Structure 1
């Protein structure tokens, strides 16, 4: 085992992978069916399936995301299956849930949640995990991604309180109706400007779906669709939470105001970058 780890670490370092020793341990622990912590206590002469390990190592050396190799990624309190059909859930997106909890601390205060562009279902399912009386709808235009979100709901015991609709944003959604609407609308849409896609890290550029990344010339195309849709579907006292990209806050705040929303909160991610804003219908 020790020689395998050393060889993998050197290969990963040569490929420009960050934290090569850590990643080598993650791959080896996965092959052995152990936690990374347990691996640290295992004898260095532990037998390893070299062929299986090398197959995974070869994929990582091509910069395939580690989450694809492991088959899952932790997000909030959830364990989510991942695939090339969706973006890999990122810790920065947990800021959406943190912002929601700050605005709606009462766990019985949220009954209906809508997640636009649900992907793996990470935001929808994390919200449902925190609000036990809530029911949620995820909307996802890619059929494979929608199927993955449904599978993740089952995986985390939330299938009974959720549904996933395969639709292009709100094309299949009706009016909110009198006294209806969603208490919470979440969205982490594509927001990378088209011209910036070529500069993304290889793990993202080559392995994650372009449609989930490309936000058009200024990165804001999806919001132009989402904001009028949210105004139609949001409950009177509901809250809209949007994830967005670096430097996009001023333009997005102006867009919110133009569509009849008041800004409630602007929150930074773990790196101190403005990442999430919350809004509500303008008070008259």
Structure 2
């Protein structure tokens, strides 16, 4: 344990001791608290070899969550894969806001664009009874991962995940039905900022889930129009955004006719989410989701 911690510190891992403890616990199939309580417990050769392999991967700056294949987020644990973004605690700000807004609707219908693991949508569905959700991603691998997470959480009867390039490939019935709440944590990192990211993010999250390859605002320019088409009257669109992007994204929503445009800060005080409400007078049809 001490040698592994030293190796991770030398590799630049800020949480070296915690990382080593979590990885050892996983290799030994025990709770991490046992590692602390009984550090003298022997480890057999098979488990030791598995642990050392994990330490090697972590020393290359692969995140612990990717080594373990899962990430705790909101109230659940989500499987993650190479096709999905590793969920961040900052994104819980968007979940909290969506849950609050969902309380204003009876049996609300939600859509999540760029769903990845499905963590945003499934976290909201898990807290809001009688809600239904559609998760959309351009990656078939991500859709497969999100579908598996829905099954594992017992939310597969209230969710559906489909492959689509934003709303381009959605069924006509889905587009006609619309949604009470639209969520998205799209790629918002400017290409010029990619080199400065921590290697855990830059080298292991899918590039397309991080950046649009340009100024980081391309997805919002598209999704503001998608929201204008798909959000029902009095419904809400809620975006996660990057640092310093709130003024531009607020303006994009206002240009599409959204009202009450506002933002939310994360626990670090950074403006992390922007949202707006569709006017009540807007025309839209009934839900496509099941009764």
Band of TM-score, shorter chain: over 0.9
Alignment of 1:119-198 (within 5 A): 119-173=116-170, 174=172, 180-198=177-195
Give the Cα–Cα distance (whole angstroms) in 2 for the partners of residues 283 and 29 of structure 1.
Answer: 53
Partner of 2:58: 60
Query: For 2:237, what is the secondary structure of its paired residue?
Result: strand
- Aligned 8 A contact 2:74 2:123 in 1: yes
Report the Cα offset of residue 27 of structure 1: 0.6
Residues 83, 141 of structure 2: 8 Å contact kept? yes
The equivalent residue for 1:51 is 49
Three-state SS of the structure 2 residue aligned to 1:94 is: helix
**Equivalent residue for 1:89?**
87
Distance 1:177 1:271 in 2: 37
Q: Distance in 2 between the 1:148 and 1:186 partners?
A: 18
Are 2:232 and 1:203 aligned? no
Query: Out of 20, 27, 41, which is 1:24 matched to?
Result: 20
Q: 1:45: Cα distance to partner?
A: 3.4
Match among 232, 235, 238 for residue 235 of structure 1: 232
How far apart are residue 278 of structure 1 and its match? 1.6
Compute the displacement of 1:33 (Å).
Answer: 1.2
Q: TM-score, normalising length from structure 2?
A: 0.91
Q: How big is the alpha-carbon RMSD for the aligned residues of Structure 1 and Structure 2? A: 1.6
Partners of 1:75 and 1:127 lie apart in 2 by 12
Map of 1:190-269 to 2, 5 A cutoff? 190-269=187-266
Q: Secondary structure at the match of 2:274?
A: strand
Q: Matched residue pairs, number?
A: 278
**Residue 36 of structure 1: aligned partner:** 32
Task: Give the TM-score taking structure 1 as reference length.
Answer: 0.93
CA–CA distance in structure 1, aligned partners of residues 98 and 263 of structure 2: 11
Deviation at 1:38, TM superposition (A): 2.5
Aligned-partner Cα distance in 2 for 1:64–1:262: 42
Partner of 1:118: 115
Runs of 4+ in structure 1 off by over 4 angstroms are 175-178
5+ long unaligned stretches in structure 2: 282-291
- SS for the counterpart of 2:42 is coil
Q: Quick check: 1:176–1:232 contact (8 Å CA) kept in 2? A: no
Kept in 2: contact 1:253–1:263 (CA 8 A): no
**Deviation (angstroms), 1:215:** 2.8
- Structure 2 Cα separation of the partners of residues 21 and 81 of structure 1: 24
Please tell me whether the aligned partners of residues 176 and 234 of structure 1 are also in contact (alpha carbons under 8 angstroms).
no
Q: Give unmatched runs, 5+ long, in structure 1.
A: none
Q: Deviation of residue 43 (structure 1)?
A: 4.2
Q: Deviations over 1:224-259 (max 9, x none)?
A: 111111111111121111000000001111111111
